Chain A
Amino acid sequence: AQTVTQSQPEMSVQEAETVTLSCTYDTSESDYYLFWYKQPPSRQMILVIRQEAYKQQNATENRFSVNFQKAAKSFSLKISDSQLGDAAMYFCAFIYNFNKFYFGSGTKLNVKP
């Protein structure tokens, strides 16, 4: 069975600072994909970043980057130069073999001005 765990229900960061959101997962699969989605108050799910398990290089999208540790089954999201618009729920997700998404429980990120 596949599981995704986000152990931080809520976090806060000062504007312009850096914050890291944690995600761990459990699977026996070797080929899979990992995602971070953002859900702002509008509740629209927005793709933040995607990582293929076969790629050793960590994915980066502007201010967002991941630390993918396959052996440790860890997939953390780092947000640099935090902005007020980054305030949202962040969900980590896992998928393999055109299956369904397995979502974590989410982390609420507050950004303080």
Chain B
Amino acid sequence: GAVVSQHPSWVICKSGTSVKIECRSLDFQATTMFWYRQFPKQSLMLMATSNEGSKATYEQGVEKDKFLINHASLTLSTLTVTSAHPEDSSFYICSARGGVETQYFGPGTRLLVL
């Protein structure tokens, strides 16, 4: 149980385009999901907390207009990187809160902006 999927696992796009990443909890409902960014050999950096049916809460320094988050249902949250630039290239990971204070993580999405 407690499986979280992410799609796509790999995406390459041209600078200036937008990219959407989906995060799904497959066998449980998640009122809260989280989006992280991870640079090579570093820890996870929380970008935002996504709550079903309400606006996401962004961490300090994260541009809400660049990283659009939508949590439309209890099993799906999406992250859209708008007008992507090479500096947005990174590894993006989502997680879903399941059980008591436990987060289950998706497999991650590698984004490369050319």
State the A residues within 8 Å of B (CB): 33, 35, 37, 42-47, 50, 91, 95-96, 98, 100-101, 103-106
A33 in complex: contacting residue of B49, B91, B95, B100, CB < 8 Å: B100
A70 CA to B46 CA, complexed, in Å: 26
Q: Is the CB of B107 within 8 A of A47?
A: no
A106 CA to B104 CA, complexed, in Å: 18
Number of interface residues of B (CB under 8 A): 20
Query: What residues on B are CB-neighbors of A100 within 8 Å?
Result: 34, 46, 49
Q: Is the CB of A47 within 8 A of B102?
A: yes
Q: What are the interface flags for B9-48 relative to A under an 8 Å C-beta threshold, 1 for contact and 0 otherwise?
A: 0000000000000000000000010100010001110100
Query: What residues on B are CB-neighbors of A33 within 8 Å?
Result: 100-102
Interface centre among B38, B103, B104, B107 (most CB of A within 10 A): B103
Determine whether B93 belongs to the interface, using a CB cutoff of 8 Å to chain A: yes
